[in-house]
A and B are shown apart, each in its own frame.
Chain A
Amino acid sequence: MRILKWIFIVLMALPVFAFLHYTLPQHDIVRIVGTENRRIDFGENSIFWASPDVGTTAGTSRDVFFINAIQSNGKTIEYRNEDTGWGWPPYFKMDSFSTQTEAKELISTGAAPVWVSITHYGWRNQLFTIFPNAVAVNRVDGPDVTIIPWVNIVLLTFFAIVILMARKMWMQFRERMIDPALVEAEETWDAVDARADRARDKASGWFGRLFGRK
């Protein structure tokens, strides 16, 4: 039973964790090797793409900026660079064109690397052809700088406070509204019960008199 309970808890927690991991910002230290612009026809992977540029019309296909880079461990990584506009996730990104310009300016070769911190959300997955969305591009000193994820610290603390607050509110509601109502219901029921007892006593008296037995 205990194992089942834990399996249930993990199954409930996994989507929450995946959602946060996808949506919250992360930083990659990379070397940008190039930028490009490709036309993408969205298919089954369409939920992993953001919205058309602010002010332009939605369609089933559009041009998307890409940033190609090499991570500090030598592996390749590709980012899309899309507006999120007024939609989800709430990055309010409307400057994909200037982000693309910044990325172009920071292109470097392996011989003279320029290291860049790319703030992004999302996942790179070859199976579904999905890309993380680059939100900001900033130059850093070297491949092994430490970046403190302030945004995540603040947001996760805020979520924890909201959950604790919701719990406190629920306890207060239960203490002040549900428990008194239960007590009242119990008292009412006791009164009904007492009346029924009296009625039964009376009835049994009446039946007793009628049939002469109990």
Chain B
Amino acid sequence: MIFAVLRLLVVGFVLMTAAYWLISVYSRSVRREKLEKRFDEGDVGGDRDAYIEAGMAAYDKGLRKKLIWLVYVVPTGVVLALIYILNFE
């Protein structure tokens, strides 16, 4: 039983980490593209690289990046809820 639980934990952790990594790379890329496009429209002045780096720094501190942690939280919660509902209700 311990082996089966460990296997589930390890497989789940690997899958969730892969999903976390892919989503965070994608999310950063989308944000950077948006900043580039906004600058290239010409509304903001100044240095292009500085503008983009400032935008990425804001992204790193923002809520959206933290929300990606839900990739770990939601599946774990769903599995715990399923175990409870299916067996102990």
Interface residues, chain A, CB within 8 Å of chain B?
51, 54-55, 85-87, 90-95, 135-136, 168-169, 172-173, 176
Contact = CB atoms under 8 A, between A and B. Distances in A.
Contacts of B26: 168-169, 172-173
B29 A86 contact: no
A152 to B, nearest CB: 15
Nearest to A168: B26
Contacts of A87: 4, 7-8
A117 to B, nearest CB: 15
B5 interface: yes
A94 to B, nearest CB: 5
Nearest to A94: B87
Residue among B22, B26, B79 with most chain A CB within 10 A: B26
Interface in B1-52: 1, 4-5, 7-8, 22, 26, 29-30, 33
A136 B79 CA distance: 17
Given A172-B29, A172-B30, A92 B22 contact: no
A85 B3 CA distance: 12
Residue among A54, A92, A136, A173 with most chain B CB within 10 A: A92
A84 B33 CA distance: 46
B1 A91 contact: no
B54 interface: no
A92 B4 contact: no
Interface string B46-89: 00000000000000000000000000000000010011001110
29 contacts: A51-B4, A54-B1, A54-B4, A55-B1, A85-B1, A85-B4, A86-B4, A86-B5, A86-B7, A86-B8, A87-B4, A87-B7, A87-B8, A90-B79, A90-B82, A92-B79, A92-B82, A92-B86, A92-B87, A93-B87, A94-B87, A95-B88, A136-B86, A168-B26, A169-B22, A172-B26, A172-B33, A173-B26, A176-B33
